[in-house]
Structure 1
Amino acid sequence: MTLIGRARARAVQTLTLDSPHNRNALSAALVGELADALADAGQDTGVRAVVLTHTGNTFSAGADLKDPPPPEALVALLRRIIELPKPVVARVTGHVRAGGLGLLAACDMAAASTEATFAFTEVRIGVAPAVISLPLLPRTDPRALSRYYLTGERFDAAEATATGLLTTHADDVDTALAPILDGLRRSAPDALTETKRLLTARVLEAFDRDAAGLTALSARLFSSAQAREGMTAFLERRDPAWVV
């Protein structure tokens, strides 16, 4: 079964997360297939830019708790998006949770409909947004992250835009995307590549400095007793034992 749809229109390659049965959760299989699709797009001289979007009402629910990718694989996927020699633009028309927010932060730009909602739900299942912090911390307002990392609260597209998680939002996401994609199509390919390198240098410094430590932290937390309780409670649709 193919988990990533591929389509091309006027030099823009669209990659679609297509695993609606688990709300496009980041399974080991989906992460691997998306990484391969991005690599193909990066090597294709006919591709000017990549749009990353989704089927269903959820962009991504975060890590697949039944088949999670190794932390190293998620780090590699996020880095691939950032290092891709073509701009990557997220197109969101649904909900984004946990690890899915790492995908948004890794993209060069992100547009969402006003129906989209966002939440860093890691603390509510006993883990932390460790690996996804690699692109998030350099690109997003630190005060906003303090609130939403620590509380797991849900927030809307307007707040996501204000904090830097999104580039723009609109009732019709494609209306918001139109000038962005037009601008990319009008830009010289080599100039886009070099300009993206300027913009991503600080983010890649964070990867070089912190990836090993955050990968180890993620692995440790996911194997903890609190995480086992939190994930079991989530799957059983009940509150975990620590809720007061």
Structure 2
Amino acid sequence: MTALARSRARGVQTLALDSPHRRNALSAALVAELTAALTDAGRDTDVRAVVLTHTGTTFSAGADLRDPPDPDALVGLLRTVVELPKPVVARVTGHVRAGGLGLLAACDIAGASTASTFAFTEVRIGVAPAVISLPLLPRTDPRALARLYLTGERFDAAEAARIGLVTAAGDDVDAVLEPVLDGLRRASPQALAETKRLLTARVLEAFDRDAAQLTALSARLFASPQAREGMTAFLERRDPEWVV
């Protein structure tokens, strides 16, 4: 059963995470399906840009704790977004948590509604935002990220824009993104591909340098006793044993 809705209009391919009953959590199946859909869009000469959005009230709750993706597969998805020769634009009208923030950071441009909220919740279940740091660290304010990584606290769309996690926020996200999509439709496909290559060079350096180390860290932490306790506590809707 597909967890991804597809549509196209005037050269823009829209891919919508479409598993609202699971808060669009990144399962192994969804990661594989989204990676394949992005790859197809990158090869399609009729596609000028990709919009990545969602159904329901959550863009993505992060990794699906019941069916988590392999860390290497998540790296592959994030790298696919960054390397795609077409601009990828995130359209967010809901909440984003944990691994969903890595997907957001991998996009070239991101618009969020003022109703959206964000949080790096990994530390609260005993793991770290390891793999998603590949696109996040080169693109986001480091002092702000230190606080948000270490505390897991929630923040709003205005703060997300201030620290560089999203490009812009507004009450009407479609109004925010309308001039963006108009600009992309007016741009030469060759120019878009080469300009994106310039903009993503530092991000791809992080992938080349750090991906193996961070996937190993992610796998080690998810297999740890504290992560098992944290994930169990989350699913049981209680505080983990370390909360004081």
Q: What's the TM-score bracket when you normalise by the shorter of the two chains? A: over 0.9
Q: Secondary structure at the match of 1:25?
A: coil
State the Cα distance separating 1:165 from its structure 2 match: 0.1
Distance 2:33 2:200 in 1: 24
Deviations 1:201-241 (A, max 9, x none): 00000000000000000000000000000000000000000
Q: Aligned letter for 1:4?
A: L
**2:96 equivalent to 1:73:** no
User: What is the aligned partner in structure 2 of residue 49 from structure 1?
Assistant: 49
What SS does structure 1 have at the residue aligned with 2:41? helix
Alignment match, 1:136: 136
Describe the SS at the equivalent of 1:8.
strand
| Structure 1 residue 21, shift from structure 2 partner | 1.4
Confirm or deny that 1:163 pairs with 2:174: no
Aligned to 2:202: 202
C-alpha RMSD of matched pairs (Å): 0.3
* TM-score calculated relative to the size of structure 1: 1.00
Q: Distance in 1 between matches of 2:225 and 2:3?
A: 32
- Which position in structure 1 is the counterpart of 2:22? 22
1:10 aligns with 2:10: yes
Report SS of the residue matched to 1:75. Answer: helix
Shift in Å, 1:2: 1.1
Q: Does 1:32 align with 2:27?
A: no
Q: CA deviation at 1:3?
A: 0.8
Aligned to 1:188: 188
Unaligned runs of 5+ in 1: none
- Partner of 2:59: helix, strand, or coil? strand
SS in 1 for 2:238: coil
Q: Which residue is equivalent to 2:101?
A: 101
Q: 2:227 is matched with which residue?
A: 227
Specify the alignment match of 1:61 in structure 2: 61
- Within the alignment, does 1:214 sit opposite 2:195 as a pair? no
- Kindly provide the amino acid, as one letter, of the partner of residue 128 in structure 1: A
How many angstroms apart in 1 are the aligned matches of 2:200 and 2:50?
A: 16
Q: Which runs of 4+ in 1 moved over 6 A?
A: none
Aligned residues: 244
TM-score by length of 2: 1.00
Corresponding position of 1:86: 86
- State the distance in 2 between where 1:184 and 1:20 align: 29
Gaps of 5+ in 2: none
1:183 Cα offset (Å): 0.4
Task: Give the letter for the 2:232 counterpart.
Answer: T
% identical equivalent positions: 81
In structure 2, distance between residues paired with 1:8 and 1:20 = 21
Separation in structure 2 between the aligned mates of residue 108 and residue 73 of structure 1, nearest angstrom: 20
